[in-house]
Amino acid sequence: MIRLAVLISGRGSNMIRLAKAIKDYEIAAKITVVISNRRCTGITLAQNCGLATKVIKRKDFNTQAEHEAAIAAAIHYHRSTYVFLAGYMAILSGDFVNQFAGRIINIHPSLLPKYKGLNTHKRALMNKEKYSGCTVHYVNSRLDSGKIILQKRVKISKNETEKTLTRKILIQEHKLYPKAISKIFNL
């Protein structure tokens, strides 16, 4: 069975969708721990689902390396074989990524390689793109540059706003992440 550590920073909607896909037998996996870099709604939701949780705040450590060592220790303690980033809003160092090379997956709200980083919807709208979407990709040491696993394209309407585009793409993220797991592990 695939053992997933899920890293979050916010509301945890993609983590909850993964948990639902597991519960509904869409994917054969287990979420071993949900880790956040701050106290957030997603941690409460994970606890309500009976999932193990750990809040590991950056401010509690002198260096990023110490912070990431604590995250890695939690991942190892729960014997997680893969790390899924689901709205984790911190950039992981090359050392951390290399420790889990080929086993860190991220979901990003744009059609990579376009619009890496933050404010993806705003930038797509400012550039009058006809399409945006979401991408599931492997994480490497360069921001949002790992090998693409799956993408889903979303048409941008003429009167689209950041809020409506965010909502449209999030719906697709919730569908895409479980499909990516199935693809990765040939389920």
First to last CA, the chain: 11
Which residue numbers are catalytic? Answer: 108
- pLDDT (tens, 9 = 90+) of the chain, 187 residues, equals 899 999 999 999 999 999 999 999 989 999 999 999 999 999 999 999 999 999 999 999 999 999 999 999 999 999 999 999 999 999 999 999 999 999 999 999 999 999 999 999 999 999 999 999 999 999 999 999 999 999 999 999 999 999 999 999 999 999 999 999 999 987 5
Helix (H, G, I), strand (E, B) or coil at 103: coil
Q: Tell me: the pLDDT tens digits for 117-129?
A: 999 999 999 999 9
Rounded Cα–Cα distance for residues 169 and 172 (Å): 5
Length of the chain: 187
pLDDT on residue 115: 98
Supply the pTM of this predicted model.
Answer: 0.95
Q: Which residue spans within the chain are E strands per DSSP?
A: 2-8, 29-36, 53-55, 82-85, 104-108, 131-138, 148-155
- 24 C-beta neighbours (distance < 10 Å), count: 9
